[in-house]
A and B are shown apart, each in its own frame.
Chain A
Amino acid sequence: MNGYGILKGLWVTFRHFIKTYIEDFKRGRKFYRSAEGIDARREADVEGIFSIQYPEEKLPVPEEFRFLPFLVYDEGPDGERKIRCTACGICAKACPPQCIWIVRSVDPATGKPVAVPAEYYIDVDICMNCGFCAEYCPFDAIKMDHDYEIATYDRTATNIYDLEKLLKPASYYAEIRPRNFTREQEEKAAKEAAKAAR
């Protein structure tokens, strides 16, 4: 029958529309504005169509999510910052858009290079979020961040991040990437134990 296909199609859209509300009633108020509600809306068996009410609601990002690098520092006992970066330059060499600039520190007395960065810049306008810097850093000193809300009014003035802006504590890193952090700590401990045994 001519037109049957169209009617069937309309039935699909109608059912889709209705199912959205059925889910809504079934799951009650906690379907919105709550973490489990967001999870429920992303489940494979949910029916109907849903949106995330950004910015009131935000999708949680998975651990591996990567957006702009940051530099990790360990906190010493009296609050001093121990920068993990040794200015070896691997991140700057691996970076595909070449957005990392590092100035290596030089000991003023001897004139020899020291394993600390004197300056460290990332042009976040150019950064393509590929994550190579974090992947190939041998000291776990640079990691990819989760903070994606970085819109500014004037990109010409604010978008070259310097050392001050890039440094974040190891506790922050542990918070956004707990699994990676624990694994790296374990590896480090195992390595040190092996060293001590020798």
Chain B
Amino acid sequence: MTDRIITQAAPNLAEQFPEWVKPDARQGYQGYLVDSPHLVEVMRALRDQYGYDYLSSVTGVDYYPEDLMEVVYHLYRSIGGRSLVLKAQTNRTESHVPSLVSVYPGAEFQEREAWDLLGIRFDGHPDLRRILTWEGFSGHPLRKDWKEPFFEEDIKPFKSRWPEGHVRRIEDSNPYQNNLQYPAGFNPESWSPEGEDPLYRTLTRGNGKGGFKTDQMIVNLGPQHPSTHGVFRMVAVLDGENVVDLKPVMGYLHRNHEKIGERNTFLQIMPFTDRLDYVSSMSNNFGYALAVEKLMGVQVPERAEYIRVIMAELTRVMSHLFSAGFLLNDLGAYFTPSLYVIEERELILDIFEEVSGSRMMCNYFRFGGVVRDLPEGLLTKIKRLVTDRIPRKLEDLDNYLTKNEIVRSRCEGIGVLTAEDAIALSASGPMLRASGVPYDIRRADPYSIYDRFDFDVVVKYHGDIYDRYLVRMDEIRQSLRILEQAIRDIPEGPILAGKPQYTVRVPAGEAYGRIEAPKGELGYYVVSNGKPNPHRYHVRAPSFINLTSLARMSKDEKIADVVAILGSIDIVLGEVDR
């Protein structure tokens, strides 16, 4: 590493590496195109000389029918600022680019995902297996020429719905057994445990330092395990009780959200985003609306901005309360703490129901605003919650849990993630801030109207489970501060720019909208080619990428603590598996 890191304005890479890098000159695109053989060198220079130490998102775009496959990287500085977008191009038939795991270890899962869904090989990746689909999955579903066994039409709306309306039950036209396709030579009957060997082979074995004269053991936690918050599996190598290595296995809830999105019109994706992180659907709406608004260039009215902030912060309060309660579940305090926090969550959900019509699947945001104005009297209700009820509950929780000796001895010093590791592994949200990195997108790269509010970025420095819990508790307090200011300042006025429309015109180009969701950085990468549906729609799911650091945190911990460590990441499987 050089002594001085250049941290001023964005570097002009085309000048720095004239032979390897050129600006992306396509209409509506930004960033640079990098010669893929030199990608690793450019990235290493960016990290070490220019301070772009945080690789946020890795994804691919298939430009079928052109013979072009593109890998898109979004880089940030962990001290804040705008993003730097880099792209590496390859062809469709033999898609491959160098892997960045050696520079940014946080790319590991995202590169695996790009291989799984788009069929892009990453040369030098240590463990390039499928991650969201399984070994018996045929093809790479996000390729534009891939079709499922029951294929209706490429884009919605489907022509069969109107004006002749051929009604039928989808289940009848897509019966079980016919709705599967396997790769050539794959027999699901004979495929069984042997298929897991590649997974087990990637696990490192210990050197028996645990001092036990026992064999090392591979233990599968999950997928059907009550403390994994859903169908999620961890494969752990144990030496006695100590974890030597661990791999998360996910995808049991995979539904290819992104392919669904690419077949939908822009607006139709909105209710599907609710189903990602179903605990905090308002935030999911927020990120997606931001990304498409960036493309469309619409200005959101003042009142709508305030409503958005109020809803997003209520969501954060709710999600953090929830995660604190369920962390205690994972520690063995079965459901009493969870139910205590669910009381307040219920009151917040009442507010969401009143304003959007649904408790969890809110579908409340539209491009350029929100669906409807707050009903009368709702602001007073929110105010009472914010100034009275939730602070009281926080005090209660402090008395109840924060000083509790059992909680402290189970959480302090367990699952430590250092600041360097957290940045390198692309951890985000409370995980990053609990490790001592004061990175909050609301401050680092402000979106919406967050630059107007007075609040602090919460940081803790131990990086253990306990600090993650404390960060969440303090963030609730900061959210309440924002909420108080937002309720005080909210102006009257329109709540939607323009007229409500079910088809929106989105100019061709790319946009990346990111927000500080309760779980971390939630980003939406949208590529439009001017048609009613997006050409590419990618979700940078915070809980999925935060799981990259699970192995690092669990190493040398006791197997019983792994469950608590997982709880402290606060994953939601709807978002992990997409």
Chain A interfacial positions (CB closer than 8 Å to B): 2-6, 8-9, 11-13, 16, 42, 44-45, 49, 61-66, 87, 89-90, 92-96, 98, 100-104, 113, 119-121, 123, 125-126, 128-132, 135-136, 144, 156, 160, 179
Residues of chain B within 8 A of A45, CB atoms compared: 384, 388-389
- B406 near A6 with CB under 8 A, answer yes
- A2 near B161 with CB under 8 A, answer no
- B363 near A90 with CB under 8 A, answer no
Contact among A8, A64, A98 with B357 in the assembled complex (CB-CB below 8 Å): A64
- Cα separation A119 to B165 with both chains bound (whole Å): 8
Contact among A2, A11, A62 with B375 in the assembled complex (CB-CB below 8 Å): A62
Residues of chain B within 8 A of A89, CB atoms compared: 161-163
- B268 near A101 with CB under 8 A, answer no
- Cα separation A162 to B156 with both chains bound (whole Å): 22
- A6 near B405 with CB under 8 A, answer yes
Query: Is B339 part of the binding interface, using a Cβ–Cβ cutoff of 8 Å?
Result: yes
Residues of chain A within 8 A of B358, CB atoms compared: 65-66, 129
- Given A64-B354, A64-B357, A132-B502, verify A44-B388 contact (CB < 8 Å): yes
Residue of A nearest to B382 (CB): A44
Interface-forming stretch among B28-36, B395-403, B439-447?
B395-403
6 A-B pairs within 8 Å (CB atoms) are namely A9-B404, A63-B375, A65-B358, A101-B161, A132-B267, A156-B169
Query: Is B296 part of the binding interface, using a Cβ–Cβ cutoff of 8 Å?
Result: no
Query: Is B166 part of the binding interface, using a Cβ–Cβ cutoff of 8 Å?
Result: yes
- Cα separation A122 to B443 with both chains bound (whole Å): 46
- Cα separation A90 to B399 with both chains bound (whole Å): 55
- Cα separation A63 to B400 with both chains bound (whole Å): 37
- Cα separation A130 to B501 with both chains bound (whole Å): 15
8 closest A-B pairs by beta carbon, nearest first, are: A101-B165, A130-B271, A89-B162, A5-B403, A66-B357, A96-B268, A104-B163, A64-B357
Q: Give 7 new A-B contacts, CB below 8 A, not counting A102-B163, A103-B165.
A: A3-B405, A8-B399, A16-B340, A65-B358, A98-B158, A102-B162, A135-B500
Query: Is B82 part of the binding interface, using a Cβ–Cβ cutoff of 8 Å?
Result: no
CB of A53, distance to nearest CB on chain B (Å): 16
- A94 near B170 with CB under 8 A, answer no
Query: Is B434 part of the binding interface, using a Cβ–Cβ cutoff of 8 Å?
Result: no
- Cα separation A104 to B165 with both chains bound (whole Å): 8
- Given A45-B389, A128-B361, A144-B357, verify A102-B161 contact (CB < 8 Å): yes
- B389 near A2 with CB under 8 A, answer no
Contact among B163, B169, B267 with A113 in the assembled complex (CB-CB below 8 Å): B163
- A44 near B363 with CB under 8 A, answer no
- B502 near A136 with CB under 8 A, answer yes
- A64 near B375 with CB under 8 A, answer yes
CB of A96, distance to nearest CB on chain B (Å): 4
Residues of chain B within 8 A of A64, CB atoms compared: 353-357, 372, 375
CB of B279, distance to nearest CB on chain A (Å): 18
Residues of chain A within 8 A of B407, CB atoms compared: 5
Residues of chain B within 8 A of A94, CB atoms compared: 157, 267-268, 502
Residues of chain A within 8 A of B158, CB atoms compared: 98
CB of B496, distance to nearest CB on chain A (Å): 11
Residue of A nearest to B390 (CB): A44
Contact among A12, A42, A98, A125 with B399 in the assembled complex (CB-CB below 8 Å): A12
CB of A18, distance to nearest CB on chain B (Å): 14
- B169 near A160 with CB under 8 A, answer yes
Query: Is B410 part of the binding interface, using a Cβ–Cβ cutoff of 8 Å?
Result: no
Most buried by A among B161, B269, B353: B161
Query: Is B25 part of the binding interface, using a Cβ–Cβ cutoff of 8 Å?
Result: no
